[in-house]
Structure 1
Amino acid sequence: MAKDYSKLEKDDLLKVIEKLESRKKYGLIWDEEKTKEQFEKESENALPVLKEVKSKEIKTDPKKPTNILIEGDNYHALSVLNYTHQGKIDVIYIDPPYNTGNKDFKYNDNFVEKDDTYRHSKWLSFMSKRLRLAKNLLKEDGVAFISIDDNEASQLKLLCNEIFGEDNLLDVFYIQVRYAGKSLNEKDNFQKLIEQVFIYAKNKYLFTPNKPSTEYNTDTFKFKIIEKVNGEEITLGKKKVVIFKPGQYEITEEKPNINLLKGTWASGSVLKGNTSGKFFHNYIEDRKNIDGLCVLYKVYGIGEDGIGYRYFTGPKKETATKGLFYSGIPLIRRAEIESGNGSQKESPIINFYDFSGDFGNIRHEGGMDFRSGKKPTRLLKMLINLHKNKDVSVLDFFAGSGSTGHAVLSLNEDDDGNRSFLLCTNNEENICTDVCYPRIKNVIKGHQSVEAIAGNLKYYKTAFVKNSISRDDLKMRITRECTEMICLREGIFDEVKAKPDYHIFEQNGRIMGVYYSMERDSLAQLKKELDKMEGEKILYCFTFDPLGLDKNDFADWQGVSLEPIPQKILDIYEQIYEY
Structure 2
Amino acid sequence: MGIATLRRNPREHTVFIHTFHTTTFNTCKRFYLHSCDRNFMALDYSGMEKEQLIKLLNKFETRAGYGILFEPQKEEFLDEMENCTPLLKQIHEKSIEGEGPEHILIEGENYHALKILNYTHKSAIDLIYIDPPYNTGSNDFMYNDAYVDAEDSFRHSKWLSFMSRRLKLAKKLLKSNGSILISIDDNEFAQLKLLCDNVFGENNFVDCIPWKKKSPKGVPPRNMMVNTHEYVLVYQKSSDFSFIGVPRDPSDFPNDDNDGKGRYANSTQNIRSTTKKPDQAITITEPATGRTFTDTWAYSEKELNRMINENELVWPDDDDGQVRAKDYLDGKRNQQKALPSEWISSYGERDGSFPNVQKNTEMFKSMVPDAQFLNPKPINLMEYLISVTCGKDAVILDFFAGSGTTGHAVMNLNSADGGTRRCILCTNNENEIAERITYPRLVAAINGWQQESKKGSPIDVPGTGAALVYFKIDYLLKLEVQDETYRSLQYKTGALTRLKNHTFRTIYHDSDRVKEIRPNFLVASGITESNAPVYSVIVYDDEFIEKAVEWCHEQGITENVHFFVFSYGMFAFEDDFPETKLEFTVEAHPDAYLVSLEAADKIGV
TM-score range, shorter chain: 0.7 to 0.9
Superposition map of 1:252-331 within 5 A: 298-302=294-298, 306-307=303-304, 326-329=322-325
Q: Is the 1:543–1:565 Cα contact (8 Å) retained in structure 2?
A: yes
1:183 to partner: Cα distance: 6.0
Instruction: Specify every segment of 5 or more residues in structure 1 that has no aligned partner in the other structure, as ranges.
Output: 6-12, 226-235, 245-249, 262-295, 317-323
Identity among equivalent pairs (%): 30
Partner of 1:407: 409
Partner of 1:540: 564
Give the letter for the 2:506 counterpart.
E
In 1, Cα distance between the equivalents of 2:271 and 2:189?
55
Q: Is the 2:247–2:335 Cα contact (8 Å) retained in structure 1?
A: no
| 536-545 or 107-116: bigger deviation | 536-545
1:222 to partner: Cα distance: 12
State the TM-score, normalized to the length of structure 2: 0.73
Aligned residue for 2:563, secondary structure, equals strand
1:460 aligns with 2:471: yes
Q: Is the 2:127–2:397 Cα contact (8 Å) retained in structure 1?
A: yes
Aligned residue for 2:397, secondary structure, equals strand
Are residues 299 and 69 of structure 1, via their aligned partners in 2, closer, same or farther at CA, if it must alter by over 3 Å? same
Encode CA deviations 1:458-477: one digit per residue, 9 max, x unaligned. Answer: 10000112123437765444
Q: Is the 2:269–2:325 Cα contact (8 Å) retained in structure 1?
A: no
Partner of 2:575: 552
Q: Is the 1:370–1:401 Cα contact (8 Å) retained in structure 2?
A: no
Superposition map of 1:522-541 within 5 A: 522-535=544-557, 536=559, 537-541=561-565
In 2, Cα distance between the equivalents of 1:307 and 1:222?
14
Superposition map of 1:100-499 within 5 A: 100-182=136-218, 190-215=225-250, 216=253, 217-220=264-267, 239=278, 298-302=294-298, 306-307=303-304, 326-329=322-325, 336=330, 344=335, 346-351=337-342, 352-353=344-345, 354-355=352-353, 357-366=355-364, 367-368=367-368, 369-448=371-450, 449-470=460-481, 475-498=486-509, 499=518
Instruction: Specify every segment of 5 or more residues in structure 2 that has no aligned partner in the other structure, as ranges.
Output: 1-19, 25-41, 254-263, 306-312, 346-351, 451-459, 510-517, 528-532
Encode CA deviations 1:33-80: one digit per residue, 9 max, x unaligned. Answer: xx011232134211211001111011132xx10010000010011110
Superposition map of 1:47-86 within 5 A: 47-61=85-99, 64-86=100-122
Give the letter for the 1:541 counterpart.
V
In 1, Cα distance between the equivalents of 2:66 and 2:163?
19
In 1, Cα distance between the equivalents of 2:222 and 2:74?
38
Aligned to 1:503, which of 513, 519, 522?
Answer: 522
Superposition map of 1:15-26 within 5 A: 15-16=44-45, 25-26=65-66
In 2, Cα distance between the equivalents of 1:467 and 1:343?
54
Aligned to 2:588, which of 564, 567, 577?
Answer: 564
Are residues 200 and 75 of structure 1, via their aligned partners in 2, closer, same or farther at CA, if it must alter by over 3 Å? same
Are residues 167 and 493 of structure 1, via their aligned partners in 2, closer, same or farther at CA, if it must alter by over 3 Å? same
Task: Give me the CA root mean square deviation.
Answer: 4.1
Encode CA deviations 1:208-235: one digit per residue, 9 max, x unaligned. Answer: 422341345343459999xxxxxxxxxx
Are residues 485 and 165 of structure 1, via their aligned partners in 2, closer, same or farther at CA, if it must alter by over 3 Å? same
Aligned to 2:79, which of 41, 56, 63?
Answer: 41
1:454 to partner: Cα distance: 1.1
Q: Is the 2:407–2:425 Cα contact (8 Å) retained in structure 1?
A: yes
Partner of 2:12: none
1:182 to partner: Cα distance: 3.5
Q: Is the 2:521–2:540 Cα contact (8 Å) retained in structure 1?
A: yes
Moved over 6 A (4+): 17-24, 222-225, 310-313
Encode CA deviations 1:325-372: one digit per residue, 9 max, x unaligned. Answer: 724328xx67955xxx99957344442513354223222334124444
1:251 to partner: Cα distance: 11
Aligned residue for 1:555, secondary structure, equals coil
| 203-212 or 476-485: bigger deviation | 203-212
Aligned residue pairs: how many? 498
State the TM-score, normalized to the length of structure 1: 0.76
Higher RCO by CA contacts (8 Å cutoff, separation 6 or greater): 1
Aligned residue for 2:381, secondary structure, equals helix
Give the letter for the 1:386 counterpart.
V
In 2, Cα distance between the equivalents of 1:67 and 1:84?
14
Encode CA deviations 1:180-209: one digit per residue, 9 max, x unaligned. Answer: 12468x567542111001111212333242
